[in-house]
Amino acid sequence: MELRAADSLDDALEVLSHRGDQCQVLAGGTDVMIQLARGEIAPAVLLHVEKLDELRGVEANGDTRLGPLVTHRDLAKGLLGERFRSIAESAATVGGLQTQVVGTVGGNICNASPAADTLPALLVHDAQVTLRSSAASRTVPLQDFVVGRRATTRGPDELLTAITLVTPGERTGDVYLKVGRRSAMEVAIVGLAMRLAFDPDGTVNDARIALASVGPCPMRSADAEAALVGGGLEPDSIDAAADAVLRDITPMDDVRGSAAYRRRVIPGLLRKAADLCSQRAGTGSPDGEG
């Protein structure tokens, strides 16, 4: 196996243009090295991109633009600010401290695990990913980029170069909640992100709900979102949203939990998420915060 360390973005794209179908892109390596050790992947070339400064940092000019080499630890420490709390919370649950220090948000996206913690939080912020090759650039919604378990629409000659997020408006709250045997170090049994926006009278005018570990890839539930819009988080609307989620998901039994258990925890998880969003938007009681 050949190790290539790219010294510029152009250099990385040049390698991918000629040998992309033989390459595995490597940044933090928290997933890739495990997959190599298990024999799940066997690329001819490891293309190391960790030193590319062009893929780091955050730009906030209207929408928020995030470099794919930003680490989970930087996100967990609040790099994106108070309007993206769900992303900070999701990044803080990705493994332990050592994983968070080296693992990157771009790696989490491209690995496309059904249980990826950051993906639901990115989905509720309308994340789009920009992919570049030596010949072209394209931007696609994250929900169209991840298409299955460890499956994306990235071409062999393309590199993920940016993640763009829609900055929330006023009276908006967001949260990421994770059910697991431990809050971190453990793959999620269920992960749920929510973002709600409210009118001054407390009516929900926009809702985003996304989940992980309940199907082949993280997903949004459009029917559940619609159930919350136009009301004030009454019990009936929360129940309708939970019912819609349960219709949308296709959970499975595995060593972490059964499909039945995953279904059982979702209504309570959704109710807690809605309460926290309301509190963070300034429309609810602070009693349940934390």
Q: How confident is the model at residue 290 (pLDDT cuts 50, 70, 90)?
A: very low
Write down the pLDDT at residue 30.
85
Residue 98 has pLDDT above 90, yes or no: no
239 located within any domain? yes
Residue 287 has pLDDT above 80, yes or no: no
What CATH number has the domain bearing residue 183?
3.30.390.50
Q: What's the per-residue H, E or C state across the chain?
A: CEEEECCCHHHHHHHHHHHHHHEEEECCCCCHHHHHHHCCCCCCEEEECCCCHHHCCEEEECEEEECCCCEHHHHHCCCCCHHHHHHHHHHCCCCCHHHHHHCEHHHHHHHCCCCCCHHHHHHHCCCEEEEECCCCEEEEEHHHHEEECCEECCCCCCEEEEEEECCCCCCEEEEEEEECCCCCCCCCCEEEEEEEEECCCCCEEEEEEEEECCCCCCEECHHHHHHHCCCCCCHHHHHHHHHHHHHHCCCCCCCCCCHHHHHHHHHHHHHHHHHHHHHHCCCCCHHHCC
289 located within any domain? no
**Tally of domains in the chain:** 1
pLDDT tens, residue by residue, 116-142: 999 999 999 999 999 999 999 999 999
Q: The domain containing residue 211 runs over which residues?
A: 172-281
248 located within any domain? yes
pLDDT tens, residue by residue, 191-236: 999 999 999 999 999 999 999 999 999 999 999 999 999 999 999 9
pLDDT tens, residue by residue, 233-248: 999 999 999 999 999 9
Q: For the whole model, what pTM was predicted?
A: 0.93
Write down the pLDDT at residue 284.
65
266 located within any domain? yes
Write down the pLDDT at residue 285.
54
31 located within any domain? no
101 located within any domain? no
177 located within any domain? yes
Average of pLDDT values for 272-277?
A: 98
102 located within any domain? no
Write down the pLDDT at residue 180.
79
